[in-house]
A and B are shown apart, each in its own frame.
Chain A
Amino acid sequence: MNFHAPHMDYAGLSPVIALTAGLCIVLLSAVFKSVRRAAPFLSLLTLGATAGFLIWQWNDPTELVSGALRLDDLAISISLIAVLTAGFAVLLSIREPAVDSVGSGEYHALLLGSVLGMTLLAQATNLVTFFVAIETLSIPLYILCAANLRREKSLESGLKYLIVGSLGSATLLYGMAMLYGGSGSTGFTGIAAGISQKGVLGDPLVLVGIGLTAVGLAFKTSIAPFHQWTPDVYEGAPTPITGFMAVATKAAAFAVFVRFFDVALISQASEWQPALAVLAAISIVVGNVGALGQNSLKRLLGYSGVAQAGYILGGLVVASEAGVNALVFYLAGYALMNLAAFAVVVARERETVYGDHIDGVRGLGAERPALAWPLTISMLALAGLPATVGFIGKLYLIEALVEGDYTWLAVFIAIGTMISLAYYLRVVAAMWMRPAGETAAPAIAGASPEADPIDPEAGHRIYLLAPAALAAAATVFFGVIPQPLVEFAQHAGASLF
């Protein structure tokens, strides 16, 4: 009897291998006292190597692990977004109180673990890898949300995320089981073949399966009405982790959302399109209205993320190549805009007593232009004003929607954007049109033992200023010269259709 070792495509697996190896090294570094402080550096190195391998595999789609994964340009572009965001999160985590309370090695290893889940999720073409990846992504995040052990809110956030996230995962798994039962396959292409014979409406098992899977994914991408966890978790989690979750989790979950619906269920597009369109519309309204009264910047960004998820879902609704292009473009732009905002929030949180309260950025324009500009650009971009990547992103989405005969959803995006101005510009107004806040400690934080120590120099530290400036500059750059990013997104769309 001959034994054949399975063929391994090491080149295709290289990003995953690099991440796994880096993760182990970072975790081990916590054991040795002499290299304990090198964890952030090692994490950045790992992320850099992963990015290098991903770019190396660009434009060379390969099936991996007998068809369970597929490393195409969609997977690579989304993984790059996740890796970039993680790199930002590592920088923003320097001197973060949460890092000290769980240990630098563990913290960074968990972060890398989550990125590993995201790269796998972006490549998943099989229900099993899909589920394994989504859990690999989520479990480290449950812990990271609770990483700031001295703050009650952080613990609450971790617990909430764990419970709601598990519910989402359970729903997803239930739906997957039904889909497998109905179609007889776990591979996306197999499901497509299995379903198209009978049609969705003829088979209640498949119909319910699709519904539950969609709900599970809506939980992960925080699409209303499955978004309730988002503001609370975002507010409680350590801010660098909030930024990471807001961007990278959303990107990875949308990648599999797209792949699942545009590959496995594409033949039934006309059945699920209206349902997702309604979800998108609800999300746009709920997110934008919810953000209006928020005083916590993190909660505000959380609700804004719900609304933005609604816009992004529009790219999926049309089930077309242009739609996927627009979706990937918007996700990339969304990453840049949000990272600039979160970097500033981190800085203000550490140097003022206001935490992430909107008063913390009052008078920032006159006092700290280097912090005020990135946040201003980020807010204007999220509001979709021109000369930013947010404008082009909306334009791209609307173009895809109108082309796909979903003009009404495009009008919804326009109306949602109009509502969103009220809260985005509130932040801008606080920075430029109000005098600086009182420096004396307000009752919000006081000297309670829970409060994190204040670092009055935080706003001048290069590891916060540089990411903020970089993300803001990229936001404007791609708003003026969007063609490179458009081509990047077009590669992603072309890999599915």
Chain B
Amino acid sequence: MTNSLLWTPLAFGLIGLAVPRRYVGWWATLGAAATLGIAIALLAGFDSGAAGLQDTVDVNWIPGLGVDYSLGIDGLNVFLLALTAVLWTAGTAFAAFREQRRPHLFFLMMLLGETATLGSFLAQDLLLFVLFFDLMLVPFYFLFGAWGSDREDGPTAAAATLKMIVYTLIGSLLMMVAAIATAIISAQHGGHLTFSIAELAKHPIGEGSQRWIFWFFAAAFLVKMPAFLLHGWMPDAYRAAPLPALAVFSGVLAKVGAYGFLRVVLPLFPAATVEFQTVILLIALASILYGSVMAFTQTNVRLVAGYSSVAQLGFITAGIFALSADGADGAVLQMVNHGLVVAPLFVIVALLAERSGTEDLRKMGGMATKAPVLAALFLIVTLATLAMPGSANFIGEFYILNGLFNAKIVFAFIAISGVAMSAYYALRLYQRTMHNRKAGGVESREIGWHDGIVLIPLVLCILGLALYPQLILKRTDASAAQAVAATEGPSRGSAKTLQRGSRRAFWQTPSTALTTTEAPQ
């Protein structure tokens, strides 16, 4: 079951090469829908009480190097898998309704991207994870570069994409070195060479090694999100990308970074995580503030969505690094929520651009006049983005803040301002496009049925989760608690005192905060 979930998209993509040009988009959509079916079946059969892995696959892949092909599902990834399948189905269908240049290659790359993303969520072997993490870049390099749009006043699509690839691969190549080092250092303390995440988590490596390895992993994940200071690739790549690909990219790929912290960093490098908690929280806060402020001022609709993602991912990171079960729970819920709002947002951006011929907020307005359905759908997405009470996003942010309050109260206070700011940029985006006076060149047109069948299911997912967020929380809880347990597990007492100590230190000076958090043994 796990195997077929992983390989169905790629299989459809490859067979699609032989499908006639006119039907290849539908064939690809069928492939994505089939994957969605498998994902739903897995979700239905998921044992919600258990913390451990389910539906595992474990094969010796390269015995000579100690690499296993091992996959598994638990509370951390089960909803991210479902999210991937949902968004890809929507993205592929959206693309299939429109004419694509070289459709065979386009849809092959879309589906290869899905397999790679599912693979990085499923992988339970550290190197397999690195492999899929890197593999995700290949299809998106082609999708962004070859189907993207060149800018008059900026870099070409190929150049923007290259920037993205170089940025992201710096992180992931260092991560490969770090992953190998983790396994080898672990094997030196007795035992055979293995990259199994579960095995490695049983015997964390020495603290000195954890320190540098932690940063190599963090670099990879923070670039992917992207977090503040490492987001340099984002504006150009987002402006160049074709929207169906961007919807899944922003909706899912950014989450792989956050997921990586939960899956790999917290369990494998608990001491370093506790040690650098404050630093990562500072980066997360900076992302929230910077992303929000940038989203206020951007005039390109894609970048409003892009920078809002920076802020949202900052929230998620903060939730993870609260190092409490509540924070991690909220982070997982918020990953799914954010994916579910940002993907329809980009679909709507595409629709807005089709109606106004521009992606500039200043040249839009009054789109709602003759398009009530579009306006209603957009409003729901907007309200979910700003985490309106009643939406699942509210629950997610509440959990995150709750976790953060218990861990680091100062950070929680600052993070709350992000909630308020999200209301501003989300509403600004909505008003500038849908309300106001109708701008010249803007055509207010209702969405057709084919855009409806892409958008409406996504909005229904948002509403469904808003009514019943427990669907996710119940299944995530055990695994999330287990993921953060390592950071307080063996040295629970000392970690507690450390947290308190570092909080006190933070009031004094940030630099002493770092020194006092050292070495919990």
**Complex CA distance for A391 and B158, rounded to whole angstroms:** 23
Whole-angstrom distance between the alpha carbons of A227 and B142 in the complex? 33
The chain A residue with its CB closest to the CB of B173 is: A414
In contact, A432 and B142 (Cβ under 8 angstroms)? yes
In the complex, chain A residues whose CB is within 8 Å of the CB of B61: 483
A409 closest partner in B (C-beta): B177
Tell whether, in the assembled complex, residue A398 and residue B169 are in contact, meaning their CB atoms are under 8 Å apart.
Answer: no
Q: Judge whether A482 is part of the interface by a CB distance below 8 angstroms.
A: yes
Bound CA–CA A325/B62 (angstroms): 14
* A432 touching B146, Cβ below 8 Å: yes
**Which of chain B's residues have a CB closer than 8 A to the CB of A482?**
62, 65
B180 touches A395 (CB 8 A): yes
Contact indicator B184/A417 (Cβ below 8 Å): no
A387 to B141, CA, bound (A): 15
Q: Which of B65, B156, B162 contacts A396 (CB 8 A)?
A: B65
- The reply to whether the CB of A385 lies closer than 8 angstroms to some CB of chain B is yes
In the assembled complex, how far is the CB of residue B176 from the closest CB belonging to chain A, in whole angstroms? Answer: 6
| A385-B138, A395-B176, A417-B173 known; A425 vs B65 contact (CB < 8 Å) | no
Which residues of A399-413 have CB atoms within 8 Å of chain B's CB atoms?
399, 402-403, 407, 410-411, 413
Q: Are B162 and A410 in contact (CB under 8 A)?
A: no
Is B176 within 8 A of A394, CB to CB? Answer: yes
Q: Nearest B residue to A325 by beta-carbon distance? A: B64
Q: Which residue of A lies closest to B142 (CB)?
A: A432
Question: How many angstroms between the C-alpha atoms of A289 and B296 in the bound complex?
Answer: 40
Instruction: Please give me the residue from chain B that is nearest to A425 by CB atom.
Output: B162
Q: Are A391 and B134 in contact, CB atoms less than 8 angstroms apart?
A: yes
Q: Which residues, 72 to 106 on A, are CB-close (under 8 Å) to B? A: none
The answer to whether B62 touches A486, judged by C-beta atoms less than 8 angstroms apart, is: yes
Instruction: Out of B64, B127, B145, B184, name the residue touching A433 (CB < 8 Å).
Output: B145
Inter-chain contacts of A418 with B (CB < 8 A): 166, 169-170, 173
Asked if B145 and A429 make an inter-chain contact with CB atoms under 8 angstroms apart, the answer reads yes
Chain A residue numbers with a CB within 8 Å of B157 are: 433
Whether the Cβ atoms of A398 and B162 lie closer than 8 Å is: no
Query: Using Cβ atoms and an 8 Å threshold, which residues of chain B touch A425?
Result: 141, 162, 165
B105, B134, B173: most-surrounded residue (chain A CB, <10 A):
B173
Task: Please classify the interface of chain B as helix (H, G, I), strand (E, B), loop, or mixed, using the class held by over half of its residues.
Answer: helix
- The answer to whether A203 has its CB under 8 Å from any CB of chain B is no
Nearest B residue to A432 via CB reads B146
With both chains docked as a complex, state the minimum distance between the C-beta of B104 and any C-beta of chain A, in angstroms. 9
Quick one: which of A325, A398, A417 has the most chain B CB within 10 A?
A398
**Minimum distance in angstroms from A476 CB to a CB of chain B:** 12
**Is A137's CB within 8 Å of the partner chain B?**
no
Interface string of B303-347 (1 = CB under 8 A from A): 000000000000000000000000000000000000000000000
B194 CB to nearest chain A CB (Å): 13
- The proximity string for B residues 348-384 relative to A, scoring 1 for CB distances below 8 Å and 0 otherwise, is 0000000000000000000000000000000000000
Q: Nearest A residue to B133 by beta-carbon distance?
A: A386
A438: CB under 8 A from chain B?
no
- In angstroms, Cα B284 to Cα A59, docked, is 57
B102 to chain A, nearest CB (A): 7
Given contacts A395-B176, A486-B64, contact A386 B166 (CB under 8 A): no
A411 to B127: give the CA distance in the assembly, Å: 16
A421 touches B142 (CB 8 A): no
Indicate if the CB atoms of A366 and B102 lie closer than 8 Å. yes
Residues of A within 8 A of B127 (CB): 395
Q: Could you tell me if A399 and B180 are in contact, using CB atoms closer than 8 angstroms? A: yes
Is A148 among interface residues, defined by CB-CB distance under 8 A? no
Question: Is B11 at the interface (CB under 8 A from chain A)?
Answer: no
B61's closest neighbor in chain A, by CB?
A: A483
Q: Does A490 make an interface contact (CB < 8 A)?
A: yes
> Contact between A421 and B162 (Cβ–Cβ < 8 Å)?
yes
Complex interface: chain B residues within 8 A of A422 (CB) = 162, 166
Q: Per-residue 0/1 for B456-475: is the Cβ within 8 Å of any A Cβ (1 yes, 0 no)?
A: 00000000000000000000
Interface size on B, residues (CB 8 A): 35
A417 to B172, CA, bound (A): 11
Find chain A residues with CB under 8 A from B135 CB: 385-387
Chain A interface mostly: helix
Contact string against A for B residues 82-108, beta-carbon threshold 8 Å, 1 for contact and 0 otherwise? 000000000000000000001001000
Q: Count residues of chain A with CB under 8 A from any CB of chain B.
A: 39
Question: Pick the contact of B166 from A413, A414, A421, A428 — CB < 8 Å?
Answer: A421
A402 touches B180 (CB 8 A): yes
A380 to B176, Cβ gap below 8 A?
A: no
How far apart are the CA atoms of A482 and B64 in the complex, in Å? Answer: 9
Enumerate chain A residues within 8 angstroms of B165, measured Cβ to Cβ. 421, 425
Question: In the complex, A365→B156 CA distance in Å?
Answer: 18
- Is residue B132 contacting chain A, with contact meaning CB distance below 8 A? yes
Residue on A with the closest CB to B166?
A: A421
Complex contacts, B176 vs chain A, CB 8 Å: 394-395, 398, 414
Bound CA–CA A483/B67 (angstroms): 10
CB of A487 within 8 Å of the partner chain: yes
B462 to chain A, nearest CB (A): 34
**What CA separation (Å) do A403 and B158 show in the bound complex?**
38
Cβ of A344 < 8 Å from any Cβ of B? Answer: no
- The answer to whether the Cβ of B174 comes within 8 Å of any Cβ in the partner chain is yes
Chain A residues closer than 8 Å to B43, beta-carbon distance: none
Whether A429 pairs with B138 at a CB distance below 8 angstroms is: no
In the bound complex, do residue B134 and residue A432 qualify as a contact, i.e. CB atoms below 8 Å apart? no
With A418-B170, A425-B162 as contacts: A386 and B146 at CB distance below 8 Å: no
Q: Is the CB of B158 within 8 A of A407?
A: no
Chain B positions within 8 Å of A318 at CB level: none
Are B138 and A399 in contact (CB-based, < 8 A)? no
**How far is A414 from B166 in the complex, measured between Cα atoms in Å?**
12
Partner of B145, one of A407, A410, A432: A432
Q: Does B63 contact A (CB under 8 A)?
A: yes
Residue in chain A with minimal CB distance to B147: A433
- Contact partners of A487 in chain B: CB under 8 A: 64
Q: A385-B134, A403-B184 are in contact. Are A433 and B177 (CB under 8 A)?
A: no
Residue B198 lies at the interface, judged by CB distance under 8 Å to chain A: no
Interface membership of chain A positions 325-360, coded 1 if the CB is closer than 8 angstroms to chain B and 0 otherwise: 100000000000000000000000000000000000
A279 within 8 A of B: no
At the interface, yes or no: A392 with Cβ under 8 Å from chain B? yes
Provide the residues of chain B in CB contact with A395, threshold 8 Å. Answer: 65, 67, 127, 176, 180
Which chain B residues in 151-184 approach chain A with CB under 8 Å?
A: 156-158, 161-162, 165-166, 169-170, 173-174, 176-177, 180-181, 184
Known contacts being A418-B166, A421-B165, is A433 close to B158, with CB within 8 Å? yes
CA A21 to CA B184, docked complex, whole Å: 49
In the complex, what residue of chain B is closest to A426 when comparing beta carbons?
B162
Q: How far is the CA of A391 from the CA of B179 in the complex (A)?
A: 14
Cα distance, A389 to B329, chains bound together (Å): 39
Given the interface pairs A414-B174, A417-B173, A422-B162, the reply to whether A490 lies near B134 with Cβ below 8 Å is: no
B395 interfacial by beta-carbon distance below 8 Å: no
Q: How far is the CA of A329 from the CA of B179 in the complex (A)?
A: 20
Q: How far is the CA of A418 from the CA of B62 in the complex (A)?
A: 25
User: What residues of A have a CB within 8 angstroms of the CB of B162 in the complex?
Assistant: 421-422, 425-426, 429
> In the docked arrangement, what's the CA distance between A365 and B166, Å?
22
Chain A residues within 8 Å of B156, by CB: 433
Determine whether the beta carbon of A380 is less than 8 Å from that of B138: yes
Q: Which residue of chain B has its CB nearest to the CB of A430?
A: B158
Residues of A within 8 A of B30 (CB): none
How far is A415 from B169 in the complex, measured between Cα atoms in Å? 9
Residue of B with least CB distance to A392: B62
Q: A385-B138, A414-B177, A434-B158 are in contact. List 10 more A-B contacts (CB 8 A).
A: A402-B180, A414-B174, A418-B169, A418-B170, A422-B162, A425-B165, A432-B146, A433-B158, A483-B61, A486-B65
A-B contact pairs, 14 of them (CB 8 A): A366-B102, A386-B138, A395-B127, A402-B180, A407-B181, A414-B173, A421-B162, A425-B141, A425-B165, A428-B141, A429-B145, A429-B162, A482-B65, A487-B64
The 10 closest A-B pairs by CB, nearest first: A486-B64, A414-B173, A429-B158, A433-B158, A386-B135, A386-B131, A386-B134, A433-B145, A432-B146, A410-B177
Q: Which residues of B approach A to under 8 Å, CB–CB?
A: 61-65, 67, 102, 105, 127, 131-132, 134-135, 137-138, 141-142, 145-146, 156-158, 161-162, 165-166, 169-170, 173-174, 176-177, 180-181, 184
